[in-house]
Amino acid sequence: MKAGKAATPVRRASIGARRNPASQAAILAAARAVLAEEGYAGFSIDAVSRRAGAGKPTIYRWWKNRADLLMEVYAAEKAGIRAVPSGDLAQDLIAHTSALWSFWCGTPSGRTFRALLAEAQSDPHALAALREKFLPERLQDVRGLFTAAAARGDIPAEEVEARLALYIGFNWFYVLTDQLEAGQASIPVAMRLIAARGGP
């Protein structure tokens, strides 16, 4: 959403009508800080606005709602986790799960992710954004692990969706019940089952 009226008077020097990297970063940093300190329950556009020193209209010009802002906070942080197929699907899934859980536990991202999923249960727009944009983008890498395994003939191509759903759901179960510590022991078994060769 870009502002069209270039002649509109801008009252703040740092955060104007045009979305620029510096002001975007300031608002995202403020959102991260609010989330880390207050958690999901205290996360509001009001709180982010106060923390960033940016007006609410400025925030709403760029992000439609709370969920939209949460998704971008999360995406910016998760960008560091990559998954590249090694030729062994089970090992790739174990490595990716470990990286993901460390990311969830070691940053406010686990909380952010839980907040996002919660938000999507009461806000249809948030659910649509989650399903049609956020998840496909975030899952692109891990989907690539499955399609590479299918291309190698290690798993049937027609089972990629079901196996991906098992993978996603396994992670969601442990993060949504806040049991990532206890769940560590289940990772290798689960990933070997998800990656098992099909057929006889």
The contact set with a copy of itself (CB under 8 A) reads 39-41, 114-115, 117-123, 127, 130-131, 135, 159, 161-163, 165-166, 168-174, 176-179, 183, 185-187, 189-190, 193-194, 196
Smallest gap from Cβ 100 to a copy of itself, in A, equals 14
The residue (of 100 and 130) whose beta carbon lies closer to a copy of itself is: 130
Name the residue nearer to a copy of itself (CB basis): 54 or 73: 73
Q: What is the CA angle 177-180-185, rounded to 5?
A: 120
Min separation Cβ 196 and a copy of itself, Å: 6
Residue among 105 and 165 whose Cβ is closer to a copy of itself: 165
Give me the least distance between CB of 8 and a copy of itself, in Å please. 35
Q: Which is nearer to a copy of itself, 26 or 139 (CB)?
A: 139
Q: How far is CA 23 from the centre of its chain?
A: 21
Q: Minimum Å distance from CB 171 to a copy of itself?
A: 7
The residue among 7 and 41 lying less far from a copy of itself, judged by its C-beta, is: 41
